[in-house]
Structure formats: structure tokens, C-alpha cells
Amino acid sequence: MDLKGYLAVKIRLIENALVKNLPKKDVPKTLFRGARYSIFSGGKRIRPVLVLASCEAAGGDCKKALNAASAIEFIHTYSLIHDDLPAMDDDDLRRGKPTLHKVIGVGNAILVGDALLTLAFQILADDKKLSPDKNTRLISELSRAAGISGMVGGQAVDIAAEGKDVNRKTVEYIHSRKTGALITASCRMGGITGGADKKALNALTLYGENIGLAFQITDDILNVTGDKSKTGKATGSDVRRRKATYPSAIGVEKSWKKAQDCVNAALKVVEVFGKKGIPLRMIAESILNRVS
């Protein structure tokens, strides 16, 4: 099994689930089109793939995790829409295409974000493939990761830090919440759907925390050292806007070392899953290949 083949299979399942989970009936056209535009704009589906791979690592059937995977991707999409708004990061482009508010206006873009955030919880609550007990656990995980002490909290601190000199502690705070929390939640939610016991769930949590951090650091490094095609953002844009990043806080070399350490830690913890953990291993290893 190679990573490319694995991803192709899983992403096909995910794309179908995303289409299925976005309602069309009784939905204002602008919202439906806006949601479609943002959901299907070439995202790499890292989070939903992690949900499926974690579910399988825990011994589950990944098809039962497709609603959790959709919910995570809808939350991720909403966060990008709101982050891109003029009052936030004020981005005109995402993945080379106009950001949603440039297409349908700021008011409608806010509403599409609100709608996707709400829809994520609806999908989980209405999932009849899983027990109500699992559904509430998944909603608890997702709401905590996405909410006021998670992703939204991280974005608030990120906005406040822009243009200021920040230390490593602040960068860690922002990264662990703004991107880390949702990536860790992807792994945990996959584990829950797959019936992970406490030990397995702990392993998935550590794995998620480590690859989340490694992913963010390599993203930061790519923004400094270049290759717009890999990041989708203009090289150097973080420096120009004085965003809080690892390279700006501790330098590129130390950042790179930190990313390697994280990936190694992630590879170590998934040994507990044996062969079933191979996809998680391959995903972790691929993070460093983006930079080197």
C-alpha cells in the first residue's frame, strides 16, 4: 500500500459524503452555492482522511466514520471562510481562487460559515449508523475543539498578536488551538467511531497533537522559504503581516528540528496499532516531505 493509492480511495469516499451531507432542499440558493464553492475548492481533505485512518487504526469500519469526517471538514471550511473575511485576515485569494466573500459578499459569506458550523452538529446528531452515546461524544469532541477554548480561541489570540513581537509560548498557544485542536479532534473522533479503548484513544490524541504541530510548523517554514504551489499562499506573506509563526519566534533551523521531533513522536505512538496503523504512519512521514 502506498500513500497516494490510500488517499485516492479515501478521498473518493469523503467527496461523496460531503455532497450527500450538504442539503439542497429548502436552502436559499446563495447559501447552497456559497457552501458548495467553498467545500469543493480543492482542499486536501487532511482532517477527514485522519478521521477515517484513525477509525481503521482502532479496528473500525471507516464507512461508519464518513459523517464525522464530513462534520470536521465542514467546520474546517467554515473556519477558512470566516478567517478570510476583511475584518479577520482579509484574504482575497484561497487556493488560487477568489475567497467566498469576494464572490457572494461579506454578509452572505458570514452566513455560509454559520450554516456550515451548524450543519456539522446536525450531521452528527442525526447519524443513525452510530449510537446516541457515540454521537454525543463526537459532538462534545468537535464542539470543544472548534470552540471558545479551541479553534475560535486560537484565532482570537492570532488576530490580537498580528503586528506584535510574539514569543514561542504565544505561537504554541495559537497553533495548538487554531489548527492543532481540530487535527487532534479528527484523530479522536475517528477513534471513537472505530470503538477505540482508552489506551488507543490516548495514542491517537498524542499522534494528532504531534502531527498537528509538525504540519503547522512546516506550513510556516514553507511560507518563509517558498513554494507557493505547496502552501497556496504568497511566499513571505506571514512575515509581511507579522503573523505569529515558529520561524519568526525561534528561527527556521530550530523550527525544522521541532517538526522532525514531532513526526518521530507521532510514528512512535502509533506502533501500538501494528499494521492497522500504517496509513497513520505514512501520513505522518509525508509531512516532512512537503519541506525537504
Residues that bind its own copies (CB under 8 A): 23, 25-28, 30-32, 35, 82, 85, 87-88, 105-108, 110-111, 113-115, 117-119, 121-122, 124-126, 131-133, 135-137, 139-140, 143-144, 146-149, 152-153, 155-157, 159-160
Distance CA(241)–CA(88), nearest Å, equals 12
Least separation in angstroms between CB 68 and its own copies: 13
> Least distance (Å) from its own copies to the CB of residue 263?
27
Can you tell me which residue has the cell 479551541?
A: 150
Spatial separation of the C-alpha atoms in residues 242 and 237, rounded to whole Å: 8
Query: In this complex, which beta carbon is closest to its own copies, that of residue 110 or of residue 267?
Result: 110
Q: Cα–chain-centroid distance for residue 190?
A: 13
CB of 183 to its own copies, least distance (A): 17
CB of residue 225 to its own copies, shortest distance in Å: 29
The residue type at 21: N
Q: Which is nearer to its own copies, 23 or 251 (CB)?
A: 23
User: Sign (positive/negative) of CA torsion 182, 98, 158, 240?
Assistant: positive
Q: Hey, what's the cell of 226?
A: 517558498
130: exposed, middle or buried (C-beta count within 10 Å: 0-12, 13-18, 19+)? middle
Q: In this complex, which beta carbon is closest to its own copies, that of residue 4 or of residue 25? A: 25
Least distance in Å: CB of 122 to its own copies? 4
Residue closer to its own copies, measured from CB, 145 or 291: 145
- Nearest to its own copies of 115, 262 (CB atom): 115
Q: How far apart are CA 65 and CA 54, in angstroms?
A: 9
